[in-house]
Chain A
Amino acid sequence: MTDFELQIQEVLDKNPYWSHVFWLRGGATETVQGIAAEIGAFQDEYFRRFGERPDPIALVKSDYKKGAVFFDPVTVDASLSFKVMIWRILIGCHILGVNFSYQRRGQSSLEITLRSFDGHLEPYHAEKWWDYHVLQHISIKAINNELFLGGFYPAVQAADSTIKSSAVEE
C-alpha cells in the first residue's frame, strides 16, 4: 500500500460502518485502492476547475471530523462533480439553492447551487442516483423561522465518541 492508501485505511478502521457499506458494494479487496483512485480523480477535477489541489488527508489531520467525511460512502461514490461540491461546502461555500424533483418511473433531478467566497454561483447537477444521497447529510435548520441549508455532516466515529459508545454498552 502507498502512504496515501495507508492513511485512507486508518480512517476506515476508525469508521467500521463505512467499511461495511463498501463491503456490501462488493467486497473490500479493492476498497482502499478504489477510494484512493476516486480521491485522485477528484483532485484532478478540482484542479481543472479551480487551479488548486485539495488534500482530504491534510484535512483529516487538521480537523478529523471534517476531513473524515470525505471518506464517507456517500462522498466516495458520488460523481466527480458532487465530490467537488461537497469539498466546496466543507471549505465554507454557501448553499444558495436546492432544486430537487422526483417522479416515480419518470425523470428526477437534483441541482444544488453554491455561492463561492468571491460571490460566483456554482450550479452542480446530480449525475447518477447515488448523488441524491447527498441530501441526507445536509443540515436543514431554521433561524427566526427562516429556512437555512448548510454544512455536510455524515457521522464520523472519532476517539471521543468511541469512548462514550462503549460506556453506553455497559
Chain B
Amino acid sequence: MSIGGIDRVLFAPAGVSVADAILQVCRDLWPKCIFQDSDGAIGHEIDDPWVWMHGTASDEFFVFTDRTAYEMWNEFGASQENSNSMLHFIVRPHPGPPYGLFEVTVVVDQWDESMRALDDGLQNAFQAIYHVRSAA
C-alpha cells in the first residue's frame, strides 16, 4: 500500500523507539487512529496494547486517522475524499554525517494544516527525546 504523495524527511535520535514517539504524536492528534504494519494485514486501534508492545518495533507502518478512513482506504484506495487520512512512515538509519540519527520519512497526500501540526509535533517529540537522552 502506498499513497505516493509528498515525502517529508525528519531526523530522530537513535537508541530510542522512534515508532513509539511517532505513534504518541499521532495519538495526540487523532485519538482514534488506526495502526497497520506495512507487512500486516490488520489495522489495530491505537489504544490496543498490541500496538505498543509489538507495533512499535516496526520500521515501516501506516497510520489512518480513524476507523472510517481505514475502511475507506481498504475499500476504495486513494481518493480525493480520503486525502491525508493515511500517513505512511518509514524509519531508517541515517547514513551520516551526522551519525547517531534515524531518518523518518513521512508520506502524505498534500501539505495542509493537519500535516503541519503533525510535522511540528514530530519535530518537537524528536527534539524532546534527544534532550531526555542528553540529560540521562
List the one stretch of B2-10, B24-32, B60-68, B69-77 in contact with chain A.
B24-32
Q: Do B100 and A165 touch across chains, with their CB atoms under 8 A apart?
A: yes
- Determine if A96 is an interface residue (Cβ-Cβ < 8 Å): no
Asked, given contacts A143-B121, A150-B28, A151-B20, whether A160 binds B128 with beta carbons under 8 Å apart, the answer is no
- 20 inter-chain pairs at a CB distance below 8 angstroms, sorted by A residue, are A62-B57, A63-B17, A63-B54, A66-B20, A91-B49, A92-B46, A136-B135, A137-B132, A139-B129, A140-B128, A143-B29, A144-B117, A153-B129, A153-B133, A154-B136, A155-B16, A155-B136, A161-B14, A164-B96, A167-B96
The A/B interface has a contact count, at CB < 8 Å, of: 114
A139 pairs with B128, CB closer than 8 A: yes
How many whole Å from A10's CB to the nearest CB in chain B? 17
A160:B93 contact, CB within 8 angstroms = yes
Tell me, rounded to whole Å, the shortest Cβ–Cβ distance linking A14 to chain B: 11
In Å, the complex CA distance between A156 and B129 comes to 12
| Cα separation A137 to B121 with both chains bound (whole Å) | 18
Q: Which 8 A-B pairs have the closest CB atoms?
A: A92-B52, A63-B57, A161-B14, A143-B121, A164-B99, A141-B124, A155-B133, A161-B15
Cα(A155)–Cα(B117), bound, Å = 26
CB contacts under 8 Å to A, within B74-114, are: 93, 96, 99-101
What's the tally of chain A residues with a CB closer than 8 Å to chain B?
36
A148 interface residue (CB < 8 Å to B): yes
Residues of B within 8 A of A (CB): 13-17, 20-21, 24-25, 27-29, 46-49, 51-54, 56-57, 93, 96, 99-101, 117, 120-121, 124-125, 127-129, 132-133, 135-136
Establish whether residues B124 and A151, one from each chain, have CB atoms under 8 Å apart when the complex forms: no
Specify which chain B residues have a CB less than 8 angstroms from the CB of A165 in the assembled complex: 99-100
B99 CB to nearest A CB, Å: 4
Q: A143-B25, A144-B117 are in contact. Are A136 and B16 (CB under 8 A)?
A: no
User: CB-CB < 8 A to B21: which residues of A?
Assistant: 139, 151, 153
**Cα distance, A92 to B19, chains bound together (Å):** 12
Identify the closest chain B residue to A170 (Cβ).
B99
Name the residue in A62, A74, A161 with the highest tally of chain B Cβ atoms < 10 Å from its Cβ.
A161
Smallest beta-carbon distance A46→chain B, Å: 13
Bound complex: CA A157 to CA B121 (Å): 25
- Docked-complex contact A143 and B133, CB < 8 angstroms: no
